[in-house]
Amino acid sequence: MTAIVSERLDYPPFRLPAETEALRSEVRAFLTAEIPGDRSEDRFKSWNTASPEFSRKMGAKGYIGVTWPKEYGGGERSFLHRYVITEEVLAAGAPAGSHWVADRQSGPQLLRFGSEEQRQEILPRIVKGECYFCIGMSEPDSGSDLASVRTRADQVNGGWRINGTKVWTSGAHRSHYCIALVRTSGTRENRHVGLSQFIVDLKSPGLTIRPIINLAGRHDWNEVTFTDCFVPDSALLGSEGDGWMQVTSELAYERSGPERFLQNYHVLKELLRVLGRQPGPRAAEIVGRLAARLWTLRQMSLSVAGMLEAGKAPATEAALVKDLGTIFQQELPEIARVLVESEATDEADLADFLDTAQYSSMVAPSYTLQGGTTQVLRGIVARALGLR
Ligand X SMILES: Cc1cc2nc3c(=O)[nH]c(=O)nc-3n(C[C@H](O)[C@H](O)[C@H](O)COP(=O)(O)OP(=O)(O)OC[C@H]3O[C@@H](n4cnc5c(N)ncnc54)[C@H](O)[C@@H]3O)c2cc1C
The footprint of ligand X (CB under 6 A) covers: 134-138, 143-144, 168-170, 366, 369-370, 373, 375-376, 379
- Give the nearest distance from C-beta 188 to ligand X in angstroms: 16
Smallest distance, Å, CB 147 to ligand X? 12
Q: Which phi and psi (to 5°) does residue 112 adopt?
A: -80, -45
**DSSP structure class, residue 103:** I
Minimum separation from the CB atom of position 183 to ligand X (A): 15
Q: Which residues fall within 8 angstroms of residue 316, CB to CB, at 6 or more apart?
A: 7, 9, 380, 381, 384, 385
Q: How far is the CB of 87 from ligand X (least distance, A)?
A: 21
Pick between residue 40 and residue 370 the one whose CB is nearest to ligand X.
370
Residue of 329, 328, 339 whose CA lies nearest to 271: 339
Q: Which is nearer to ligand X, 54 or 168 (CB)?
A: 168
**200 CB burial (10 A radius; 0-12, 13-18, 19+):** buried
What is the nearest approach in angstroms of ligand X to the Cβ of residue 276?
33
At 225, which helix (H) or strand (E)? strand 219-232
- Closest separation between CB of residue 378 and ligand X, Å? 8
Task: Give the distance from CA 24 to its chain's centroid.
Answer: 21
Which C-beta is closer to ligand X: that of 20 or that of 48? 48
Residue nearest to ligand X (CB): 143
Concatenated DSSP letters of 6-48:
-S----------THHHHHHHHHHHHHHHHS--TT-THHHHGGG
**CB contact set of 296 (below 8 Å; sequence gap of 6+):** none
Which is nearer to ligand X, 273 or 388 (by Cβ)? 388
Q: Which is nearer to ligand X, 247 or 268 (CB)?
A: 247
CB nearer to ligand X: pick between 21 and 141: 141
